[in-house]
């Protein structure tokens, strides 16, 4: 082997080895495990029926003006399980709804307070809360616009029924508009009442401590600075609700009897108000009495409840408890609410028991379960809230994979599913390595794979995903890397280096040929022999015709233009002129000499040498273009 050829061979080997070493020195793959398949978890949304129902109920509370109840429901709403990828969308929607509720609550409080001051004859004092209400309402309107925008993304991301959700959101706009109307009317009322005569109203009530459902007597007097007001209508309110009406006598006195509603709270307020009617509305200011606070008596039952059993998807659990009070209960039923349904359960000596099933498709998380005892007469409603913690049993996974694999050859990955308990079950195993391989296996498995020829050489990441058939087990995924050797990709650098080597060797050969020819030329010049032009006749020039046909074969291969039997030498030469510019001159010399040998009685020696040189040039051009 020549030194240069040997050196090039070593260079090829060195480059290939360097290529493999660079791939091999990457860190050895580490396998990490997840107790949940992240690909499936991104699609595992909260229980949609539950989420929709809960959200619509929350909107209903807001539209009805129950702002405190709405805030409590939003706190409960925050317990919903949400995938990490959707956490921001969920939290932003919940926070905007909470902010809107707080602003509307503040506005409502300020408007009610201002109204109370106005109808108590304190118009100027009402301006400050009305101003505050205006600011709060403007901020609420901005937050409402942001909430609508957020709701678009929220309903799309959690795949909720958009029409139902936006119907509720539009109802909030009506609530805001109603508040603007009330604000405007109160401002007009202030201007109207400025010049009216002051009125005064005093009341007292007895007894001061009563059972709910019983009666209470209210007495009072209506007057101005100069006289009692007779035959005026007085409205008595119990804890903010209209409870009775009375009419003043000739001395401005009045009295009435109220039935205490079944309001289960420790205390309640009683006030009386005078609203001038007809002609009086243009003469007297409205007024409000002093507030009487009474104590309310009632019985509050106790509800106790506990959960028994495994709260796992697809399995049953029990809720058991009891309801008791200081006196016998007037009812024998209790309501159990969980997810989207409620069940009426019979009480047996005050105890109850109910078996429930956890849906198989439910997401991990905490879900509210509530046991509610109804109100009845002097018995207040009572309830107990429990949180059902749904959490699948975690799995672990061990894998034994080959460290190196060749594309196109079959291999095995051996694995074992580990978990607590002795239950036997099957799982669906999916291996992803260039393509997917799926099998149904038990706790121990062997999955076959063949690295495809379409992946590159080097470390390739593989994923093994395990989805157990029982819904109460979590999915698990393991990732690792295998060093893949693909003969095709390894051959690429070898082929490139080989092509470069061949090109270099050909250039060297060409240089050597030119050097030899140059030496021959110099030797010929040194001869002092008289040069005499020699001519050859057509006889004995068969080799020249063979050279021409060799040239025709080369040109036809390069140009894809064949020489037909009917063509002359000059016709074919003209036909290939445009397609063979790189080698046309060489082919032209050969063609002219061949034509002269055929049709002329004499051909010079220089022309024959030119033909030989031209065929060599044509052969070199052919080798360069083809290879």
Whole-angstrom distance, CA of residue 44 vs CA of residue 121: 60
Give the mean pLDDT of 37-41: 46
Confidence of residue 506 (pLDDT cuts 50, 70, 90): low
Q: Which helix (H) or strand (E) holds 447?
A: strand 444-449
Residue 455 CA to residue 461 CA, distance in Å, equals 11
Helices 87-118 and 67-77, packing angle to 10 deg? 170
pLDDT at 129 over 90: yes
The pLDDT-based confidence of 460 (bands split at 50, 70, 90) is confident
DSSP symbols for 595-625? HHHHH-S-EEHHHHHHHHHHHHHHHHHHHHH
* Same CATH fold assignment for domains 31-35+394-485 and 302-390: yes
- In this predicted structure, the answer to whether residue 328 has a pLDDT above a threshold of 60 is yes
Give the bridge partners for 385, in sequence order. Answer: 370
DSSP 3-state of 277: coil
Distance CA 70, CA 63 (A): 9
Topology classification of domain 302-390: Immunoglobulin-like (2.60.40)
pLDDT at 26 over 50: no
Check whether the bond before 207 is cis (ω within 30° of 0): yes
3-class DSSP state of 330: coil
- For every residue of 205-260, DSSP letters joined together read EE-SEEETTSEEEEEEEEE-SS-BPPS-EEEEEETTEEEEEEE--TTSEEEEEEEP
Contacts of 569 by beta carbon, 8 Å cutoff, 6+ apart = 548, 591, 594, 595
Q: How far apart are CA 75 and CA 94, in angstroms?
A: 9
**pLDDT the model gives residue 517:** 47
* 157-184 per-position pLDDT tens digit: 888 888 888 988 898 999 999 999 999 9
Which CATH superfamily, name and number, covers 200-297? Immunoglobulins (2.60.40.10)
Q: What's the rounded Cα separation, in Å, for the pair 551 and 564? A: 15
- φ and ψ at 254, to 5 degrees? -155, 160
Stretch (H or E) spanning 461: strand 458-468
pLDDT tens per residue, range 202-250: 999 999 999 999 999 999 999 999 999 999 999 999 998 999 999 999 9
Angle CA(607)–CA(611)–CA(617) in degrees, nearest 5? 140
Measured in residues, the chain has a length of 627
Rounded to 5 degrees, what angle do the CA atoms 140, 141, 142 make?
Answer: 90
User: Which residues are registered as beta bridge partners of 218?
Assistant: 205, 256
Fold of 31-35+394-485: Immunoglobulin-like (2.60.40)
Confidence of residue 44 (pLDDT cuts 50, 70, 90): low
- The two tokens of residue 13 are 């080997």
Sequence-distant (6+) residues with CB within 8 A of 142 are none
Q: Is the pLDDT of residue 536 over 60?
A: no
In whole angstroms, what is the distance from residue 291 CA to residue 203 CA? 8
Question: Quick check: helix, strand or coil at residue 283?
Answer: coil
Out of 139-143, 338-342, 492-496, 567-571, least confident range: 492-496
* Contact between 340 and 53 (Cβ < 8 Å): yes
Tens-digit pLDDT profile for residues 548-568: 888 888 888 888 888 888 888
Q: Where are the domains of the chain?
A: 31-35+394-485, 48-193, 200-297, 302-390, 532-626
**In this predicted model, which residue has the larger pLDDT, 429 or 295?**
295
């Amino acid at each position: 082997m020549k030194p240069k050829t040997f050196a090039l061979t070593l260079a090829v080997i060195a480059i290939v080895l360097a290529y493999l070493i660079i791939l091999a020195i990457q860190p050895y793959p580490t396998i990490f495990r997840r107790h949940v398949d992240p690909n499936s978890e991104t699609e595992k949304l909260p229980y949609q029926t539950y989420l929709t129902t809960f959200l619509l109920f929350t909107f209903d509370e807001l539209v009805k003006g129950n702002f405190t109840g709405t805030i409590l429901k939003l706190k409960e709403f925050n317990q919903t399980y949400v995938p990490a990828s959707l956490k921001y969308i969920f939290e932003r929607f919940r926070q905007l709804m909470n902010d809107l509720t707080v602003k509307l609550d503040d506005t409502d409080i300020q408007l009610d307070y201002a109204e109370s001051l106005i109808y108590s004859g304190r118009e100027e004092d009402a301006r400050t809360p009305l101003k505050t209400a205006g600011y709060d309402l403007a901020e609420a309107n901005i937050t409402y616009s942001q909430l609508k925008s957020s709701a678009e993304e929220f309903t799309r991301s959690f795949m909720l029924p958009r029409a139902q959700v936006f119907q509720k959101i539009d109802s909030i706009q009506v609530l805001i508009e109603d508040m603007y109307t009330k604000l405007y009317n109160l401002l007009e009322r202030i201007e109207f009442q400025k010049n009216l005569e002051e009125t005064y109203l005093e009341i007292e009530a007895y007894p001061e401590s009563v059972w709910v459902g019983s009666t209470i007597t209210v007495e009072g007097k209506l007057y101005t600075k100069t006289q009692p007001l007779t035959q005026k209508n007085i409205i008595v309110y119990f804890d903010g609700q209209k409870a009775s009406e009375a009419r003043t006598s000739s001395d401005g006195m009045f009295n009435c009897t109220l039935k205490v509603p079944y309001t289960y709270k420790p205390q309640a307020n009683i006030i009386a108000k005078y609203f001038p009617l007809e002609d009086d509305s243009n003469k007297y200011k409205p007024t409000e009495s002093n507030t009487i606070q009474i104590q309310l008596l009632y019985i509050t039952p106790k509800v106790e409840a506990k959960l028994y059993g495994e709260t796992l998807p697809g399995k049953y659990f029990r809720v058991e408890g009891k309801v008791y009070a200081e006196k016998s209960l007037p009812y024998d039923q209790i309501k159990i609410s969980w997810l989207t349904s409620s069940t009426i359960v019979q009480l047996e000596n005050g105890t109850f028991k109910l078996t429930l099933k956890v849906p198989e498709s439910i997401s991990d998380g905490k879900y509210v379960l509530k046991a509610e005892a109804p109100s009845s007469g002097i018995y207040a409603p009572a309830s107990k809230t429990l949180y059902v913690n749904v959490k699948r049993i975690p799995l672990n996974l061990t894998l034994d994979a080959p460290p190196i694999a060749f594309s196109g050859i079959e291999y095995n990955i051996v694995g074992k599913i580990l978990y607590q308990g002795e239950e036997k079950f099957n799982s669906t195993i999916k291996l992803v390595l260039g393509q997917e391989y799926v099998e149904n296996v038990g706790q121990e498995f062997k999955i076959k794979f063949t690295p495809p020829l379409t992946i590159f050489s080097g470390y390739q990441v593989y994923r093994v995903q395990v989805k157990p058939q029982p819904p109460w087990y979590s999915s698990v995924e393991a990732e690792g890397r295998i060093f893949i050797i693909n003969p095709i990709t390894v051959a690429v650098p070898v082929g490139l280096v080989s092509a470069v080597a061949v090109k270099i060797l050909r250039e060297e050969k060409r240089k050597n040929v030119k050097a030899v020819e140059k030496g021959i030329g110099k030797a010929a010049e040194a001869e002092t022999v008289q040069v005499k032009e020699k001519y050859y006749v057509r006889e004995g020039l068969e080799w020249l015709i063979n050279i021409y046909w060799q040239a025709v074969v080369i040109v036809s291969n390069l140009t894809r233009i064949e020489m037909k039997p009917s063509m002359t030498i000059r016709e074919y030469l003209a036909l290939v002129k445009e397609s063979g510019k790189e080698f046309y001159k060489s082919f032209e010399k050969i063609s002219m000499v061949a034509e002269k040998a055929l049709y002329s009685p004499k051909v010079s020696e220089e022309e024959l040498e030119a033909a030989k040189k031209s065929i060599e040039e044509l052969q070199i051009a052919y080798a360069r273009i083809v290879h």
